Structure 1
Amino acid sequence: MRTFHVSVSERPDRTVVSVTGELDFDTCPRVIRVTDTVSLTGRTLGLDLSGVSFMDSSSLNMLLVLRLRAETENGALELYGMQEQGRRLLQLTGAEMLFDVRPTLAV
Structure 2
Amino acid sequence: MEGRGDHPKTAKIEMLIERFEISGDDDLDLRSEEEKARAAVTNWMRWQGDLGHLDRWQQAAIWGAVREQTALIRDRQATDEGRGYVQALRKLADVVEER
Q: Same fold (TM over 0.5)?
A: no
Higher relative contact order (CA 8 A, sep 6+): 1
TM-score (norm 1): 0.27
TM-score (norm 2): 0.29
Larger of the two Rg values belongs to structure: 2
**Which structure has more strand as a fraction of its residues?**
1
